[in-house]
């Protein structure tokens, strides 16, 4: 992440994750959680260069989550839609340029 505090504000405030932990003094690593899944965020100052990374999350309730992310100001790079590979998904980008997809498997 380019800036850990900025990343935490985005993941918690915009995507609805909760902050699980921070490490370092000052903090340079943190974990955020949503529905049992955890993403670990590293500040660029201690690891490699920031972004872009790609993360694709399978979930239940993607329609409601999409609307919540939109209300909170997420930058949507691909609108919610049914895809030919059998998923209903959408994509966002975080402040460091990392790309995240959220998908629900379509039932037949």
Partners of residue 76 on adjacent β-strands: 92
> For residue 78, what are the domain limits?
4-105
**Tens digit of each residue's pLDDT (9 = 90 or more) over 3-22:** 899 999 999 999 999 999 99
Alpha helices by DSSP H, the chain: 4-8, 62-71
CATH number of the structural domain spanning residue 65: 3.10.180.10
Average pLDDT, the chain: 90
* Confidence (pLDDT) at 106: 93
* Reported pTM: 0.81
Domain total of the chain: 1
**Tens digit of each residue's pLDDT (9 = 90 or more) over 34-56:** 988 888 888 866 655 666 788 88
Reading across the β-sheet that carries 99-105, which strands appear in turn?
Answer: 54-58, 99-105, 87-93, 75-82
């Amino acid at each position: 992440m380019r800036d850990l505090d900025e990343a935490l504000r985005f993941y918690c405030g915009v995507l609805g994750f909760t902050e699980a932990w921070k490490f370092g003094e000052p903090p340079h690593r943190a974990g955020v959680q949503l529905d049992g899944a955890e993403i670990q965020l590293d500040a660029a100052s201690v690891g490699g260069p920031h972004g872009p990374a790609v993360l694709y999350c399978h979930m239940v309730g993607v329609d409601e989550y999409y609307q919540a992310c939109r209300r909170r100001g997420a930058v949507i790079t691909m609108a919610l839609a049914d895809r030919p590979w059998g998923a209903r998904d959408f994509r966002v980008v975080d402040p460091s340029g990392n790309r995240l997809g959220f998908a629900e498997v379509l039932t037949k």
